[in-house]
Amino acid sequence: MAASKSYNGSCHCGSNTFSVTISPPLENPEQKVLSCNCSICTQNGYLLTFVPAANITWSKGGLANLTKYEFNKKNLQHYFCGTCGSSCAAGMGNQVGLNVRCLQNLDVEIEKLGRSEYDGRAL
């Protein structure tokens, strides 16, 4: 299996489009997406994969174009499209957690991706 793979993604309306390189690829059984039980991740259905910000190329829009929302201790910024409301990403420092539900060229069904559970409610 390839060491990395590029994926295309966007918000629902297409105001924000990007490509991202993820290593190992999401289809690799060793790769896990983060499923957090905090209130916002649960409500918005986030399934996150964290990558260095340098691995994301925005062809339209970008984090600066998305609406930022912070809550509780404000350790993590959540980004959504102000036009269609898609929950696209979460960020902390140089790492960006992309919502894999925004990716279009997955070679596996989202329900079959490996998951790592995170207890965000405890923070």
Strand (E) positions, 1-123? Answer: 5-10, 17-22, 32-36, 48-52, 56-60, 67-69, 77-80, 87-92, 95-99, 114-118
Q: What is the pLDDT of residue 1?
A: 62
Residue 118 covered by a domain = no
Mean pLDDT of the chain: 92
How many whole angstroms separate alpha carbon 7 and alpha carbon 17?
11
* pLDDT tens-place string over residues 37-92: 999 999 999 999 999 999 999 999 988 899 999 888 787 899 999 999 999 999 87
Number of domains composing the chain:
1
| Span 23-36, pLDDT tens digits | 999 999 999 999 99
The DSSP secondary-structure symbol of 70 reads -
Query: Where in the sequence is the domain holding 57, given as residue range(s)?
Result: 5-102
User: For residue 120, is it within any domain?
Assistant: no
The span from the CA of 64 to the CA of 68, in Å, is 8
